[in-house]
Amino acid sequence: MKVATMHFKATAHVKLNDERLQLNLKKMQGKFVANRRASLVELDDFEGTRDSAKAIRNRALDDLDVWLEAFERNAAARGATVLWAETPADVNALVIEIAAKHAVRKIIKSKSMVSEESALDHAIEGAGMKVVETDLGEYILQINDYEPPSHIIGPALHKSKEEVAELFRKTHGTPMKTGIDELCLEARGALRDHYLTADMGISGGNFFVAETGSVVLVTNEGNATLTTTLPKVHVAISGIEKIVPTLEDVATLMRLLPRSSTGQSISNYVDVLTGTKGPGEFHGALHMYFIIVDSGRSAVLASTVREALRCIRCGACMNHCPVYQNIGGHSYGWVYPGPIGSILTPMYVGLEQAQDLPAASTMCNQCGVVCPVRIPLPDLQRKLRERAFEEGMRPWYERTALALWSWLAQRPILYGLASRIGVRALKWMGGKSGMIHSLPLVSGWTAERDMPAPAGRTFRELYAARSRS
């Protein structure tokens, strides 16, 4: 996927003024949040389960090399082949090599965010093969000229029912449909033949289980089951951080993953795929490959933001993020949007190209509060902000303003005087409405929002007046 993170501010401005997108985002706001809240009451000890999940993910990351080697050993013992990819280009090269080995002509895919990192679909088509996305959201984006996903679990959530209906009409040459059920049935009909005629299936992996050499896939549509069991070849692609030690660990994480993402007690489908098709087995791949991807993850593991690798890709952070809810996922300019994307993306593509993403936060900590594996997202964003500042990546006027504020803050008398002058000036600027619509030097902030004017006196002045009364 093309990196466009350096255009974050400009893109966010465009998205804020996109009336159709804003309407679509408002329709989605709160739905996942309410469902999550309702599903959590089913757990006897939600906070204790989160603690356990955090410990599981830390255990895997602390001895990642050990668990990766165990996974390779156990997967190979069950007939699978484990391959290693250091870069996105390596992922594409390995997939094309596997396809050539098995004379593959058509490939079907279930949703894989890692494959978005390497623009795998384009590489497959460039090698002369056909590739079809089978996740409904990814299929919608593919037939819309490979539009990038805007959400981790719902890649096409930014589109309305009417937009999808028109897209289906144009692509399938069918009469316009208006019902969601009708649209789903049309997509199923369009995809059915591809399931039956594909030579290879590609999936991601929610978890790679070290003790059994298995891949765990969590879906709601059933497309992943068909993608991984009908074709003769199955290739599962995921990052090194997706390793978990045991199936028991998966059971714990599954108590949180669907509840945190869609608000379900359990997803419709949970596939645990281990090895190749055995004698007498009805379905399964004859050839199974795992591609385990680094692509910057080792650097994250060795960094001050390593806790971000605990992420289980539930999407809860973006579902609760006021920034994401107003600008949508495409503003972030790469595969991973929202709070987790503001940390992972700079680490994967380079902070110099994505320095605005860690700053795309109100620091309200809603993301940190809801994260099922307790990733301290605002703290990690702050660390990247500090690094960008220390390495001189931020604009000169921002560095100058902060230096001036620091100098003033160390001089209480001057700071108090400046504060008294400032709050009175802001009250005057608020006028009769009491709202500030524009501020000099910070138009980037006030161009998209209004804020209430202060009372005209500082907190210390108000407190002193109250104490005297």
Ordered domains of the chain (ranges, CATH): 43-295 (3.40.50.10420), 396-468 (no CATH)
Given a cut of 80, whether residue 390 has pLDDT beyond it is yes
Can you point out the beta strands (E) in 205-245?
207-209, 214-219, 233-239, 243-244
pLDDT tens for each residue of 125-159: 999 999 999 999 999 999 999 999 999 999 999 99
Under 8 Å CB-to-CB from 404, ≥6 apart: which residues?
none
Instruction: Quote the percentage of the chain above a pLDDT of 90.
Output: 86
Helices assigned H by DSSP within 144-238: 161-172, 180-197, 223-229
H or E element in which residue 114 lies: helix 113-117
Band the pLDDT of 387: cuts 50, 70, 90.
Answer: very high
Given a cut of 90, whether residue 249 has pLDDT beyond it is yes
DSSP code of 180? H
Q: Which of 154, 266, 278, 149 is nearest to 216 (CA)?
A: 266
- Say how many CA atoms lie within 13 Å of 266 toward its Cβ: 7
pLDDT tens for each residue of 223-243: 999 999 999 999 999 999 999
pLDDT score, position 210: 98
CA distance 1 to 4: 9
- Say how many CA atoms lie within 13 Å of 220 toward its Cβ: 15
Collapse the DSSP code of 118 into the 3-class scheme (helix H, G, I; strand E, B; otherwise coil) and give the result. Answer: coil
* DSSP string for residues in 418-444: HHHHHHHHHHHHHTTTTEE---TT-HH
CA distance 160 to 178: 11
pLDDT score, position 58: 98
* DSSP string for residues in 306-356: GGGGG-----HHHHH-HHHHHH-SGGG-SS--HHHHHHHHHHHH-GGGSTT
CA distance 399 to 389: 7
pLDDT score, position 30: 77
Band the pLDDT of 27: cuts 50, 70, 90.
Answer: confident
Collapse the DSSP code of 217 into the 3-class scheme (helix H, G, I; strand E, B; otherwise coil) and give the result. Answer: strand
pTM of the model: 0.91
Band the pLDDT of 278: cuts 50, 70, 90.
Answer: confident
Given a cut of 90, whether residue 449 has pLDDT beyond it is no
Given a cut of 80, whether residue 447 has pLDDT beyond it is no
Given a cut of 90, whether residue 381 has pLDDT beyond it is yes
Question: Contact 172/82 with Cβ under 8 angstroms?
Answer: no
Better-scored residue on pLDDT, 432 or 36: 36
pLDDT tens for each residue of 71-124: 999 999 999 999 999 999 999 999 999 999 999 999 999 999 999 999 999 999
CA distance 330 to 369: 24
C-alpha of 365 from chain center: 17
pLDDT tens for each residue of 30-85: 789 999 999 999 999 999 999 999 999 999 999 999 999 999 999 999 999 999 99
pLDDT score, position 437: 86
Question: Contact 140/132 with Cβ under 8 angstroms?
Answer: no
C-alpha torsion 308→57→369→312, nearest 10: 70
Given a cut of 80, whether residue 442 has pLDDT beyond it is no
pLDDT score, position 283: 82
The structure tokens listed for 414 are 């001057």
Calculate the average pLDDT of the chain: 94
pLDDT score, position 427: 92
